[in-house]
A and B are shown apart, each in its own frame.
Chain A
């Protein structure tokens, strides 16, 4: 009997303490989630504006980038197979997060390629454009990093940015034979795909079989042409990447806002129920207390 009464006495206290505490807790939680929802909504609008601008600038950049790659396609330039050639991978991403799987997709593609190429015994080096990529790759593949570029993603990329990257890369003196620019190709507002565009060294192009049909080329012209083509490919990768990144950020912030509003709805219901329960409990106490008098 003692055990029963003590148990009866014990429970309401526990229940009361729990309710009072949770009412304040719920209020605090509700306020913080509402603030977060405001932030994600505004980030979504900013990303939408940046995405609109990036997509507009992407149209001419696409024609430009495809024109730059036309020589490699039409002349079917390939590096000689079977030779231990040196590869260069340029991963294009940005500094800022909260944009879904953009950075990890590029990093995954780079890691897969490194595994492939080192398995075949070829030498690989990686150039990062974007701090987030460096963070992902540095821990496991730090020895492959040749060059890392920061301050990418705050403003829309220009041709000058691409030329700075290419200049630094060429000044590093890594004599690569072939390589690729790995970027996220923009397909639509909700989808993008990690893709790559090939780059070749001057020697590979000069020694390629189909180059014989191109008239009147000397070493200087070819070198200038190749450097320009490298900048063009990097520029194309940058433009596509920024557009994909902004659309991914827009989608991510949109779903974050939706999740936040779902949580707010649930919490508001819980809050109201808890409030009513507390009031009912007090009423019952008062009534039963009055009845006891």
Chain B
């Protein structure tokens, strides 16, 4: 049944035959919304470029980018503002939508500006301390740490599993994208 569903779903992909892109009809400005459930970083702001890490690879989005839907993986999102400055955020997972009218919605499950993160402290979290509760914290810190590691060193892509932990804490391991491998 699962195979049939995949086959059925792959049909639309076959329908979109790849061809040269049409001339961009979207506006020259990108309306960029970047938010996590608890905080809004950009709301319909106009920025020059956004670099995002997705499951299929990292790419940069400029105004009038081809419409697409992607799922994020743990990594760094870089936002290049109109004035040239760049701000970096670490995201755990989420989704990105680029619409035809050049509006971009980047919804991250957890997102923090890089300067709020301390790589050394996240390393400490990965040491096995023992006890059930600690192990959960362990796994979420491992996730974060691997993501950070790749950010810094460019390690191979990390496939994260779907965890439903009951903790509502800051580094909860509820990486929502269910990647079945």
Choose from B35, B37, B178 the contact partner of A227 (Cβ within 8 Å): B178
B164–A68 contact, CB under 8 A? no
Q: Once the chains are docked, how many angstroms separate the CA of A229 from the CA of B172?
A: 19
Interface centre among B12, B103, B105 (most CB of A within 10 A): B12
Q: Once the chains are docked, how many angstroms separate the CA of A253 from the CA of B138?
A: 45
Contact residues on B (Cβ < 8 Å of other chain), bracket: 35 or more
A1 at the interface (CB under 8 A from B): no
A195 at the interface (CB under 8 A from B): no
Q: What is the distance, in angstroms, from A250's C-beta to the closest C-beta of chain B?
A: 23
B39–A60 contact, CB under 8 A? yes
Contact status of A160 and B172, CB under 8 A, knowing A60-B36, A227-B178: yes
Chain B, residue nearest A218 (CB):
B13
A67–B33 contact, CB under 8 A? yes
Q: Once the chains are docked, how many angstroms separate the CA of A232 from the CA of B92?
A: 15
Q: Once the chains are docked, how many angstroms separate the CA of A74 from the CA of B174?
A: 28
Which residues of chain A are within 8 angstroms of B38 by Cβ–Cβ distance?
57, 60-61, 159
Q: Once the chains are docked, how many angstroms separate the CA of A161 from the CA of B176?
A: 12
B70–A221 contact, CB under 8 A? yes
Within 8 A of A (CB), among B148-181: 162, 164-168, 172, 174, 176-179
Which residues of chain A are within 8 angstroms of B70 by Cβ–Cβ distance?
221, 225
Contact status of A219 and B9, CB under 8 A, knowing A63-B35, A68-B107: yes
Total contacting residues, chain A, CB less than 8 A:
44
Q: What is the distance, in angstroms, from A110's C-beta to the closest C-beta of chain B?
A: 25
B43 at the interface (CB under 8 A from A): yes
Which residues of chain B are within 8 angstroms of A216 by Cβ–Cβ distance?
56, 68
B12–A64 contact, CB under 8 A? no
A160–B167 contact, CB under 8 A? yes
Q: Once the chains are docked, how many angstroms separate the CA of A144 from the CA of B38?
A: 34
Contact status of A215 and B71, CB under 8 A, knowing A71-B99, A228-B176: no
Choose from A161, A167, A207, A225 the contact partner of B168 (Cβ within 8 Å): A161
Chain B, residue nearest A221 (CB):
B71
Which residues of chain B are within 8 angstroms of A70 by Cβ–Cβ distance?
33, 97, 99, 103, 105
Choose from B5, B39, B40, B66 the contact partner of A215 (Cβ within 8 Å): B66
B100 at the interface (CB under 8 A from A): yes
Q: Once the chains are docked, how many angstroms separate the CA of A205 from the CA of B159?
A: 25
Contact status of A160 and B69, CB under 8 A, knowing A68-B107, A70-B99, A212-B12: no
User: Using a CB–CB distance below 8 Å, which chain B residues touch chain A?
Assistant: 5-6, 8-10, 12-13, 15-16, 33, 35-40, 43, 55-56, 66-71, 94-95, 97, 99-101, 103, 105-107, 109, 162, 164-168, 172, 174, 176-179
Query: 19 new A-B pairs (CB below 8 Å) besides A159-B38, A228-B95?
Result: A60-B35, A61-B38, A64-B40, A67-B35, A70-B105, A74-B99, A158-B37, A159-B37, A160-B164, A160-B165, A160-B168, A213-B67, A214-B69, A218-B13, A220-B179, A222-B9, A225-B71, A227-B176, A232-B107
User: Using a CB–CB distance below 8 Å, which chain A residues touch chain B?
Assistant: 57, 59-61, 63-64, 67-68, 70-71, 74-75, 158-161, 163-164, 167, 202-203, 206-207, 211-225, 227-229, 231-232, 235
